[in-house]
Structure 1
Amino acid sequence: MNTFSSDHLTLGVCDYPEHVPAEDWPKHSEQQKQIGLAIVRLAEFSWTKLEPVEGKFDWQWLDEAINIYADQGLKIVLCTPTATPPAWLIQKYPEILPVDEQGRIKKFGSRRHYDHASPIYRKECVRIVTAMAQRYGQHPAVIGWQTDNELGHEGTGCSYGGASAAEFPAWLRTKYGSLDNLNEAWGTSFWSQTYNEWDQIEPPNLTAVRQANPSQVLDFKRFCSAMIEQFQILQIDVLRALSPGRFITHNFVTFSAESDLYRLCEKLDFVAWDSYPVGMLEFFATWESEEVKSSYARTGHPDLVSLHHDLYRGLKGGTGFWVMEQQCGHANWAQYNPLPADGAVKLWSAQAWSHGADVLMYFRWRACHMAQEIMHSGLLHQNGKPDRGFHEVAELDPSNFPLAPVEAKVAVLHDYDSLWAYDQQPHNKDLSYWLQFTMFYSALRKLGVDVDIIHPRQLADKQYKLVVAPALTLMTDEIAEALNKYHKGLFVFGPRTAFRNESGRVAEQGQFEKIEALVGCQLTNFDSLRPTLKQTIKEHNSSSTIEASLWCEGYAPTTGAPIWCYQGGPLDGQAAVNQNGLVTVVGALSLELIEKVLVHNLQKAELDYMHLPDGVRVSQRGTRKLVCNFNQSDVCWNGVTLPAVSYQWLTN
Structure 2
Amino acid sequence: MRFNEKKAYKGKDFLLGVCYYPEHWPEDMWEDDFRRISGMGFNVVRMGETAWNLLEPEEGKYDFTLFDRAIAISERYGLKIILGTPTYAPPAWLTQKYPEVLRVDFRGLAMAHGSRRHYNYTSQVYLRLCRDIVAAMTAHYGNHPSVIGWQIDNELNCHSDMSFAESDHLAFREWCKEKYGTLKALNAAWGTSFWAQTYSEWSQVFLPKPTVTYHNPSHLLDSYRFTSDSAIRFAEPQYQILKAGIASQQFVTHNGIFGNIDYSTFTERTVDFLSYDSYPSFQLMRKDVPLKEKDRLSGKHLSRMRGYSAKFLILEQQAGPGGQTGNVLNNDRDDYLQTSPKPGQMRLWTWQSIAHGADGVLYFRWRTCPFGAETLWHGLNDYGNQPNRRLEEAGVIAEEVTRLAGTLLATRVAATAAILGDYDNDSNCKIDRHTGTDYWRSEESIYLALTNRHIGTDVLNWNTLGGPQDLKGYSIIFVPNAQIFDSKQAEMLRIYAEQGGTVVLGPRSGYKNRDNHAYMEPFPGVVRKLAGVKVKDFTMVDPYVEHQGLLFSNAGDNGESVVDAPIFHEILSPEEEGVHVAATYAADYYAGMPGVTVRETGRGRIVYFGTFFSLVNSEALLEQLGVGDAAEGWAKLPPWVETVYRTDGKATWAILLNYSGTPALVSFKGKYEERIHRRTLEGELTMNPYDVWMIELQV
1:270 aligned residue: 273
For 1:455, the aligned partner's letter is N
1:613 aligned residue: 638
- Could you tell me how far apart the structure 2 residues matched to 1:411 and 1:193 are? 41
1:257-406 to 2 correspondence within 5 Å? 257-267=259-269, 268-282=271-285, 286=288, 288=289, 292=290, 295=291, 301-316=294-309, 319-333=310-324, 335-396=336-397, 397-398=400-401, 399-400=403-404, 402-403=407-408, 404-406=411-413
Residue 5 of structure 1 aligns to a residue whose secondary structure is coil
- Could you tell me how far apart the structure 1 residues matched to 2:636 and 2:429 are? 31
Q: Deviations over 1:354-383 (max 9, x none)?
A: 111110110001110111111111111111
1:536 aligned residue: 549
Shift, 1:604, TM fit:
9.1
- Is 2:612 the partner of 1:586? no
Contact kept? 1:126, 1:234, Cα under 8 Å: yes
Shift, 1:613, TM fit:
3.3
- Is 2:441 the partner of 1:440? no
- Is 2:12 the partner of 1:18? no
**Bigger shift: residues 431-440 or 72-81:** 431-440
Candidates 642, 647, 655, aligned match of 1:626:
655
Shift, 1:575, TM fit:
1.6
Q: Deviations over 1:260-310 (max 9, x none)?
A: 1111111321121111111233467x4x3xxx3xx46xxx82332101110
Contact kept? 2:84, 2:152, Cα under 8 Å: yes
1:73-152 to 2 correspondence within 5 Å? 73-152=78-157
Candidates 461, 485, 500, aligned match of 2:470:
461
Q: How does the TM-score come out when normalised to structure 1?
A: 0.92
2:328 aligned residue: none
Gap change, CA 1:604 and 1:228, over 3 Å in 2: same
For 1:200, the aligned partner's letter is Q
**Bigger shift: residues 557-566 or 230-239:** 557-566
- Could you tell me how far apart the structure 1 residues matched to 2:193 and 2:8 are? 52
Residue 439 of structure 1 aligns to a residue whose secondary structure is helix
Contact kept? 1:282, 1:335, Cα under 8 Å: no
- Is 2:414 the partner of 1:411? no
**Bigger shift: residues 459-468 or 433-442:** 459-468
**Bigger shift: residues 593-602 or 395-404:** 593-602
Q: Deviations over 1:390-419 (max 9, x none)?
A: 111111221235221111121210211101
2:620 aligned residue: 596
Shift, 1:2, TM fit:
7.8
Candidates 187, 191, 202, aligned match of 2:191:
187
Gap change, CA 1:602 and 1:561, over 3 Å in 2: closer
Gap change, CA 1:3 and 1:493, over 3 Å in 2: closer
**Bigger shift: residues 158-167 or 88-97:** 158-167
- Could you tell me how far apart the structure 2 residues matched to 1:551 and 1:651 are? 44
Residue 347 of structure 2 aligns to a residue whose secondary structure is helix
Contact kept? 2:285, 2:338, Cα under 8 Å: no
Shift, 1:634, TM fit:
1.7
Aligned length: 634
For 2:610, the aligned partner's letter is G
Q: Deviations over 1:139-186 (max 9, x none)?
A: 01111100000101112x211232111111221122122222222222
Candidates 56, 65, 72, aligned match of 2:61:
56
Contact kept? 1:378, 1:387, Cα under 8 Å: no
Gap change, CA 1:33 and 1:604, over 3 Å in 2: closer
Shift, 1:433, TM fit:
3.1
Q: Deviations over 1:560-605 (max 9, x none)?
A: 2221111321433332111111110111234322112224446499
Candidates 448, 453, 474, aligned match of 2:484:
474
Gap change, CA 1:68 and 1:311, over 3 Å in 2: same
Contact kept? 1:428, 1:528, Cα under 8 Å: no
Name structure 2 gaps, 5 residues minimum: 1-6, 325-334, 668-683
Shift, 1:75, TM fit:
0.9
2:330 aligned residue: none
For 2:40, the aligned partner's letter is I
Shift, 1:32, TM fit:
0.9
Residue 549 of structure 2 aligns to a residue whose secondary structure is strand
- Could you tell me how far apart the structure 2 residues matched to 1:612 and 1:301 are? 18
Gap change, CA 1:2 and 1:596, over 3 Å in 2: closer
For 1:131, the aligned partner's letter is A
Shift, 1:218, TM fit:
0.5
Gap change, CA 1:640 and 1:27, over 3 Å in 2: same
**Bigger shift: residues 452-461 or 583-592:** 452-461
1:503-522 to 2 correspondence within 5 Å? 503-522=515-534
- Is 2:179 the partner of 1:175? yes
- Could you tell me how far apart the structure 1 residues matched to 2:8 and 2:79 are? 16
Gap change, CA 1:532 and 1:277, over 3 Å in 2: farther
- Could you tell me how far apart the structure 1 residues matched to 2:521 and 2:495 are? 21
RMSD value over aligned CA atoms?
Answer: 2.3
Percent identity among equivalent residues?
33
Residue 175 of structure 1 aligns to a residue whose secondary structure is helix
Q: How does the TM-score come out when normalised to structure 2?
A: 0.86
- Could you tell me how far apart the structure 1 residues matched to 2:487 and 2:126 are? 36
Contact kept? 1:186, 1:215, Cα under 8 Å: yes
**Bigger shift: residues 606-615 or 29-38:** 606-615
Residue 156 of structure 2 aligns to a residue whose secondary structure is coil
Shift, 1:539, TM fit:
2.4
Residue 53 of structure 2 aligns to a residue whose secondary structure is helix
**Bigger shift: residues 178-187 or 64-73:** 178-187
- Could you tell me how far apart the structure 1 residues matched to 2:169 and 2:264 are? 25
2:43 aligned residue: 38
Q: Deviations over 1:60-108 (max 9, x none)?
A: 1101111111121111100000001111111111011111122211111
- Could you tell me how far apart the structure 2 residues matched to 1:511 and 1:97 are? 45
- Could you tell me how far apart the structure 2 residues matched to 1:612 and 1:550 are? 32
2:246 aligned residue: 243
Residue 188 of structure 2 aligns to a residue whose secondary structure is helix
Gap change, CA 1:539 and 1:614, over 3 Å in 2: closer
Contact kept? 1:615, 1:631, Cα under 8 Å: yes
Shift, 1:614, TM fit:
5.3
- Could you tell me how far apart the structure 2 residues matched to 1:485 and 1:170 are? 39
Candidates 558, 562, 575, aligned match of 2:581:
562
2:215 aligned residue: 212
For 2:638, the aligned partner's letter is P
For 1:555, the aligned partner's letter is L
Shift, 1:201, TM fit:
1.8
Shift, 1:480, TM fit:
3.5
1:547 aligned residue: 564
Gap change, CA 1:366 and 1:212, over 3 Å in 2: same
Gap change, CA 1:329 and 1:571, over 3 Å in 2: same
